[in-house]
Copies of this chain bind each other. A is one copy, B any other.
Amino acid sequence: MKPMLSIVKIGGNIIENDVELAQFLTLFSELPGTKILVHGGGKKATAIGERLGIRSTLVQGRRITDAKSLEVAVMVYGGMVNKKIVASLQAHSCNAIGLSGADAGSIRSVKRPVREIDFGFVGDVDHVNTQSLTTLLQAGLVPVFCALTHDGKGQLLNTNADTIASELAIALSKEFTTTLYYCFEKPGVLKDVQQDDSVITHIDKEIYHRLLKEKSIADGMLPKLENCFHALDNGVEKVCVGNTRMLHPDHHLYTTITL
């Protein structure tokens, strides 16, 4: 039987709230077994960028990562946010090690080809180095990933944190029975987006297709669910979607997604 691995992704809303981040890091450090944390960046990079006189560029409503924005992302996500999380986890006796995809050659990506939009220094994950990661995990270390990868030719690339989490989960599911946790601001996938108590506790493919037909999934949730099923279709055991409290052993109100 393969050992268990938990991969937890937190978004910007948690990182920007010091109290919530502290509560989350306590829960995460208490999560038993082998684990990985992936964090997004949120608005901190935008705020620091603006103070540095670097404005984020939008083309057709999509954010573009030019050279200066990338530098800010590397400073804020790879430096400030990542190292603070690592230092906090260490204080909780969780042996965290902060990584970008460049570190230990762990995640290589390809600069997104220019089609309708040139996204700039944005990478699509190409290869996860499971050997490097397995070595770190077997040494009892807890990798903490920021949303940066590299192209193997010296270029760092901004990469979606949800994708990093799912690609890590897929690659490592050959060696581990992997559960992927997506923490966001809602308590789970909701029947009624206005009602936090309308959590759908279990979704499988059949239920998913029914919900799609009924058009009862909020637009923002659709790419997230697509990403979840992509992970499940590629070897991940289970995906859980909810707020950070779902890491608490006594909290059961969140959405579990299986094939």
Contact = CB atoms under 8 A, between A and B. Distances in A.
A154 B87 contact: yes
Interface stretch (A96-104, A199-207, A231-239, A243-251): A96-104
Contact of A154 (B88, B104, B155): B88
Report copies per complex.
2
Contact of A99 (B52, B76, B97, B152): B97
A104 B83 CA distance: 11
Most chain B Cβ neighbours within 10 Å, of A79, A100, A102: A79
A141 interface: yes
Contact of A103 (B80, B96, B154): B96
A130 to B, nearest CB: 13
Given A90-B154, A153-B91, A154-B88, A71 B80 contact: yes
Interface of A: 48, 51-53, 71, 74-80, 82-84, 86-88, 90-91, 95-100, 102-105, 132, 135-136, 139, 141, 148, 150, 152-156
